Amino acid sequence: MKIADHAELIKEAERFVKQVLSGEASGHDWWHIERVRNTALDIAAKENADRTVCELAALLHDVADEKLNASKEAGLQKVRTWLEGHTADGDLTDKVMDIIANMSFNGGKNPPMATLEGQVVQDADRLDAIGAIGIARTFAYSGAKGRIIHDPELSPDALAQEDYRSAGKTAIYHFYEKLLKLKDLMNTPYAKELAEQRHAFMELYLQQFYSEWGSRNPQEK
């Protein structure tokens, strides 16, 4: 059934996403989607981005995740099929698909998002990976993979080295490979502001973490 009304379409997308992600406990459960949607709408308002494109892309962005599908292509096809089945607005479908296909972190190596709406949704997803919530998600993900919190024998200096990967990742390692890099990868001015606070909290967290452990922070040279 095609839905012309944007509010209705968004409600239907919400139902679809809840059903696809039910039972997901590895850090992008429904509440991750809800947070990304709300943050995307906040940023969109500040940056004058199209709300419908941002909200739909935020809602659908993890449905295509490789971890939930046979391949990234199969995941993207799932989202496209849903969109084509629910809206006759081909332009909206293309815009949302373009965002979802290009927004992953990929070590920060992907080219910048081409549209303002893409930048907004990518920023919202990245903001959810940092700060207090980002820290919680990191430990949840790491635990789900059966990994340990931290390995002081490989730290502090090994954390900075690429070959640390081969030793098996710890949750703390993820701060260095991703979380601490995200602040500088924000696209929009408002997201940069939000990221500053969340980044500062992670620095404080790590300081306290190492202090309790009785070792030094590898970032303090």
Q: Could you list the residues that contact Ni ion (CB under 5 A)?
A: 28, 62, 125
Closer residue to ligand ADP, CB minimum distance, 34 or 89: 34
* Residue 9 engages ligand ADP in binding (rule: CB under 6 A): no
d(CA 20, CA 74): 14
Q: Where are the alpha helices (DSSP H) in 87-159?
A: 90-102, 116-127, 131-144
* Residue 37 engages ligand ADP in binding (rule: CB under 6 A): no
* Residue 97 engages ligand ADP in binding (rule: CB under 6 A): no
* Residue 123 engages ligand ADP in binding (rule: CB under 6 A): no
Closer residue to ligand ADP, CB minimum distance, 89 or 201: 201
DSSP letter string, 22-70: TT--SS-SHHHHHHHHHHHHHHHHHHT--HHHHHHHHHHTTTT-GGGSS
Q: How far is CA 40 from the centre of its chain?
A: 12
Considering only residues 119, 142, 187, 188, which one is a binding residue for ligand ADP as defined by CB under 6 A?
A: 142
* Residue 141 engages ligand ADP in binding (rule: CB under 6 A): yes
* Residue 137 engages ligand ADP in binding (rule: CB under 6 A): yes
